[in-house]
Structures are given as C-alpha cells and as structure tokens.
Amino acid sequence: MKSLFLTIILVSSLFSLDFLNDYNEALKEAKKVNKPIYLLITSTSCRWCVKFEKTTLKSHQVKNRLAKEFVTLHLVREINVIPDKFKTTPVPRHYFLNKKGDIIFNGLGYRNEEIFNSFMDSVQKRNMKNQ
C-alpha cells in the first residue's frame, strides 16, 4: 500500500506545473532559457480563477505546453507583489510577456482548454515575429 501511494505521488508530480511567484525571478529565468513568460494573476476570492486552475490548468496538454514553451508565473493579488504595469482587476488575468517583460498578448477571464491553446498559438506567432 505504501509503494502504491508513493507511485501515485510520483506520477502526479510528473504532471505538475511549477509556477514562479516573483516577477523579477521570472524575468531572469526567461532570459536564461530564452522563453516568453505566461503570467497568471488571480485572487483568493475569485471563483473563475479557481475554475480556471481546476479545469484548464489541470489539462495535461496545457500543462505540458506551458512547461515546454513558457516560463510560468502566478501572482495572487492578496499575497504577491504585482508590478504596477499590470492591471489586477478583474481576474483572472492572463499576460504573455517576452523575455524582457514587454506584453505580447493579454486576456481576461476564465478560458477553457481550446481557447487557452489559441491564446498560446497567438503568443508564439507574435513572439516569433518580434525576435
């Protein structure tokens, strides 16, 4: 039983998405790995944020794509320091930034997997043009 539990933990950790929670750290990482940044801004009291996190961000395809193509950053209004250049209401807010921190694309609200993937497609096209 113990080995089954450890196996479940290991397998679930393989599909986890590690979000940074410091903007400056994300910028450093983006420059280091030469990737754009996906910034998600949420609130602890936002039901649409929770829905996005529990549905779209739980998709294996979305998690794998975010991990492969972006540095991921999650800032919570009540917890983290959010640079002034980002609007924080309403939420969830989605920002895609180049490695310098310039906004490439932004969106607002809950997005299902299909729409969120189209966001990522648009970002990658714009990012390729600007490199």
Residue 8 has what pLDDT? 38
Domains of the chain: 16-129 (3.40.30.10)
Rounded-to-integer distance, Cα 127 and Cα 131, Å: 6
Averages of pLDDT over each 10 residues, the chain, 131 residues: 40 61 98 96 97 96 95 97 94 95 93 92 78 63
Residue 131 has what pLDDT? 63
Residue 16 has what pLDDT? 61
Rounded-to-integer distance, Cα 49 and Cα 71, Å: 19
Residue 95 has what pLDDT? 96
Residue 130 has what pLDDT? 67
pTM: 0.84
